[in-house]
Amino acid sequence: MKIGFIGLGNMGGPMARNLAAAGHQVAGFDLAAPQIEGVTPAASAAEAAAGAEVVITMLPNGQILRAVAAEVIPAMAAGAVLCDCSTVDVDSARAVAEQAVAAGLGALDAPVSGGVGGAAGGTLTFMVGGSDAAFATVSPLFDIMGQKAVHCGESGAGQAAKICNNMILGVTMIATCEAFALADKLGLDRQKMFDVVSTSSGYSWSMNAYCPAPGVGPTSPADNGYKPGFAAELMLKDLRLSQQAAESADADTPMGQLAAALYTEFVENEDGRGQDFSAMLPRLSARGRKG
């Protein structure tokens, strides 16, 4: 397949490389002009998109996506599919899809989970919104870049699934960390705490698969000095998107709101930036009830 790939950063670079390694013809564009094995560099986003059957974008935010889409959509061949894999706000995802469909193109929002390890290893999970036909066209590419693609519904449904999942993740990580910090102060051994909670009703992915306490549970960023993993600022981005969506849909999300406020404090006013999001545990451990 002829593919245009725009945004060749930490995630997009290895995703584009995997598509090229599988035998697809990939033209890539990124403002930073990185060299990606097997990917032919294009001089602009429009040049990467011209003549491609599928154009994939992997960009930092909705504003940049809207700008790139405005350039790329007129350059795309009729019937081609624009597939955005970035994590962006639901409104931007829907607006870009509407423009693409109005121009006679297919459109998908297909954010991912799995991080840079998943991008490099081709084991991402895609959460996809858009038409059946567009999903069928891009499915073989999802199979190369990932291990699972769930068609969640119409345009915006992929982004909705992503931010709802990550809102649960942010909230449960904080709850898990504050429970460890309380357990410490009650004199409960962390290993015993893990042994009980990981097999009791408090279990979650945060406790069982990504335990925030070093030396306890499976190996996680906590065992590597809280080096990400999934950086606190990326969790903050997703929590903010969840609150933006909740605002626009008039949904009451008090726990998501509090999680966003705590990660804002951690990333913007403390030392959270550049640390894994599970570093909420040492942060809470170091505090008392009055801060």
- Sign of the torsion angle spanned by Cα atoms 189, 190, 195, 201: positive
The closest residue (CB) to ligand NAD is 9
16 binds ligand NAD (CB under 6 A): no
**Catalytic annotation present for 162:** yes
Residue type, 65: L
Alpha carbons 264 and 260: distance in angstroms, whole number: 6
Span of 26-34, 125-133, 163-171, 178-186 interacting with ligand NAD by CB under 6 A: 26-34
Pick from 65, 100, 99: nearest CA to 81: 100
Report how many residues bind ligand NAD under the rule CB under 6 A: 24
- The CB-of-48 to ligand NAD minimum distance in angstroms stands at 9
Segment 204 to 263, residues that bind ligand NAD, using CB under 6 A: 234, 237
Alpha carbons 145 and 114: distance in angstroms, whole number: 11
Q: Which of 2, 148, 162, 185 is catalytic?
A: 162
Segment 63 to 92, residues that bind ligand NAD, using CB under 6 A: 64, 68, 86-87
- In sequence order, what are the residues at sequence separation of 6 or more whose Cβ sits closer than 8 angstroms to the Cβ of residue 62? 86, 88, 89, 91, 92, 93
Segment 33 to 52, residues that bind ligand NAD, using CB under 6 A: 45
Q: Crossing angle, helix 232-249 and helix 157-185, to 10 degrees?
A: 120
Pick from 76, 69, 52, 243: nearest CA to 163: 243
116 binds ligand NAD (CB under 6 A): yes
Q: Judged by CB, which is closer to ligand NAD: 48, or 193? A: 48
3-state SS, residue 187: coil
Q: Judged by CB, which is closer to ligand NAD: 87, or 183? A: 87
Do you know the residue count of the chain?
A: 291
Q: Judged by CB, which is closer to ligand NAD: 66, or 190? A: 66
Task: Give me the DSSP letters along 211-274.
Answer: -SSTTSSS--GGGGTT--SSBHHHHHHHHHHHHHHHHHHT---HHHHHHHHHHHIIIIISS-TT
Task: Give me the DSSP letters along 106-142.
Answer: EEEE--EESHHHHHHHT-EEEEEEE-HHHHHHHHHHH
Please select the residue that binds ligand NAD; options are 3, 4, 5, 12, rule is CB under 6 A: 12
144 binds ligand NAD (CB under 6 A): no
1 binds ligand NAD (CB under 6 A): no
Span of 30-38, 145-153, 193-201, 258-266 interacting with ligand NAD by CB under 6 A: 30-38
Interface characters, 261-290, with ligand NAD (x: CB under 6 A): ------------------------------
Q: Residues with catalytic annotation?
A: 162
**Residue ranges that bind ligand NAD, judged by CB under 6 A:** 6-12, 29-32, 45, 58-60, 64, 68, 86-87, 112, 115-116, 234, 237
